[in-house]
């Protein structure tokens, strides 16, 4: 079982969130070089509610869009945004910066349904509701002119973890996250002391990543497609790494350890555990939910209390995949994108940006997350160092007691054809465009 170094345990498990951006670094000769790419090296722009590393610039690309979620950027620079709720009769935005000043001059709503998932693939704009995935053919104009096709329908209706993000391998496959409809597959959901169902029936059609034909219409979940990776509570942050030719994701970790099993966990442990895990997925991989969770303080995978765990017992005899990198509990990773541009410094090439929506359940500690992190990686998809906090300041206050008080919550990421990074927010409907101006 892999043990994380002491510095990782201190950083990821015990430090306050405000300290993370300064200290999530390699304890090596690269530490000083990487510190310059932390948000702490820059200055908070209070008007824009964002802080970036020195040398980077944020522009308010669009505002007041509604509950903006995932983003996709076309080769001509058109930015598309999905909405988690209808606005003025539409669910999707097409946004264009005609004069090149970093701000959208044309903003048009369209679409009869939507949600979170959004991607451009092979001349089509793919989008999703909680129960189906459709696509529009893209033409010369930003707005699609034809009716959408339905690619996959029949996803189970569920009250939690219902969004359907998608990504593509460029070889004809579409990968879709189907979240678990529960916290920990208990016999009685979110009930103190209730044990877990084993085998967990939710693993049959949910709690994993499915592979479908990207170009076949009329597919139905449960009849078509195949389970690619399992044991994933809600892999909302997911992207195909083109350089490594592999699928990666981050999942929302489980909740309520101390509320459900107070004999084993105190509220401090509940606030910090379990880790938010960054994984490489492959066909047949099992990532451990609901039978286990990753304890980043101990540096090992633990038996979940619903399945006989006591907060001290590591998993044995289970072939679960270990995370490549970890973050503190309940940060809520909502999107992942690999940087394949050349406009940012070389340190960012091939690395992963992650949008953390922010926690709701870290009391009595302040809520945390509400940032964009970066994981350095090489062209083969290997993690080469510890994460840094690339962008913060979104929540609008140093300490946050309730997520409802957050000014902004990062939800979506995309890379433009010019190498700029776009960040979406579903609290105020904002999109930032981030560029590198040099030092």
Average of pLDDT values for 119-141? 97
pLDDT at residue 317 tops 90: no
Residue 35: per-residue pLDDT: 80
Residue 318: per-residue pLDDT: 79
Residue 141: per-residue pLDDT: 94
Average of pLDDT values for 423-435? 98
Q: Enumerate domains of the chain plus CATH numbers.
A: 6-436 (2.120.10.30)
10 Å Cβ neighbour count for 113? 16
* Mean pLDDT (the chain, rounded): 92
pLDDT at residue 12 tops 70: no
Residue 20: per-residue pLDDT: 41
How far apart, in whole angstroms, are the C-alpha atoms of residue 122 and residue 142? 15
pLDDT above 90 as % of the chain:
89
Q: Give the contacts of 118 (CB within 8 A, at least 6 positions apart).
A: 69, 70, 71, 72, 80, 81, 82, 92, 125, 126, 127, 128, 412
pLDDT at residue 15 tops 50: no
**Do 361 and 255 meet the contact criterion of CB atoms below 8 Å apart?**
yes
pTM for this structure? 0.93
pLDDT digits (tens, 9 = 90+) for 176-202: 999 999 999 999 999 999 999 999 999
pLDDT digits (tens, 9 = 90+) for 322-353: 999 999 999 999 999 999 999 999 999 999 99
pLDDT at residue 18 tops 80: no
Band (pLDDT 50/70/90 cuts) for residue 74 is very high
pLDDT at residue 428 tops 80: yes
Tell the residue number behind the tokens 């997350």, with chain if given: 369
């Amino acid at each position: 079982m892999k043990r994380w170094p002491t510095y990782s345990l201190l950083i990821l498990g015990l430090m306050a969130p405000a300290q993370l951006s300064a200290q999530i670094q390699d304890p090596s000769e690269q530490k000083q070089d990487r510190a310059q790419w932390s948000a702490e090296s820059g200055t908070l722009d209070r008007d824009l509610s964002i802080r970036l590393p020195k040398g980077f610039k944020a522009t308010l690309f669009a505002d007041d869009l509604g509950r903006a979620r995932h983003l996709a950027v076309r080769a001509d620079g058109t930015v598309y945004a999905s909405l988690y709720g209808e606005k003025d009769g539409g669910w999707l935005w097409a946004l264009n910066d005609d004069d090149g000043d970093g701000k959208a001059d044309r903003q048009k709503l369209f679409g009869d349904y939507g949600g979170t998932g959004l991607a451009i693939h092979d001349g089509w704009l793919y989008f999703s509701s909680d129960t189906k995935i459709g696509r529009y053919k893209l033409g010369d104009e930003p707005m699609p002119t034809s009716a959408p096709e339905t690619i996959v329908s029949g996803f189970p209706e569920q009250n939690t973890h219902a969004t359907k993000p998608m990504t593509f391998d460029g070889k004809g496959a579409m990968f879709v996250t189907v979240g678990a409809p529960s916290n920990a597959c208990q016999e009685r959901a979110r009930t103190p002391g209730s044990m877990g169902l084993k085998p967990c029936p939710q693993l049959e059609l949910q709690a994993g990543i499915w592979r479908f034909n990207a170009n076949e219409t009329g597919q139905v979940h449960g009849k078509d497609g195949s389970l690619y990776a399992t044991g994933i509570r809600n892999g909302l942050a997911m992207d195909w790494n083109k350089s490594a030719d592999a699928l990666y994701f981050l999942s929302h970790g489980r909740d309520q350890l101390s509320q459900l099993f107070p004999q084993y966990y105190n509220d401090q442990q509940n606030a910090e555990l379990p880790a938010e895990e960054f994984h490489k997925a492959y066909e047949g991989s099992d990532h451990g939910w609901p039978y286990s969770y990753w304890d980043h303080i101990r540096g090992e995978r633990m038996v979940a209390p619903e399945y006989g765990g006591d907060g001290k017992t590591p998993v044995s005899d289970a072939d679960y995949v270990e995370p490549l990198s970890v973050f503190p509990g309940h940060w809520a990773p909502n999107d992942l994108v690999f940087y394949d541009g050349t406009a940012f410094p070389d340190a960012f090439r091939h690395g992963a940006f992650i949008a953390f929506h922010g926690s709701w359940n870290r009391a009595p500690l302040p809520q945390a997350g509400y940032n964009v992190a970066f994981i350095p990686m090489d062209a083969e998809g290997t993690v080469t160092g510890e994460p840094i906090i690339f962008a913060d300041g979104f929540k609008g206050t140093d300490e946050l007691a309730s997520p409802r008080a957050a000014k902004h919550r990062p939800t979506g990421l995309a890379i433009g054809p010019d190498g700029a990074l776009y960040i979406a927010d579903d609290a105020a409907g904002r999109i930032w465009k981030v560029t590198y101006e040099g030092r």
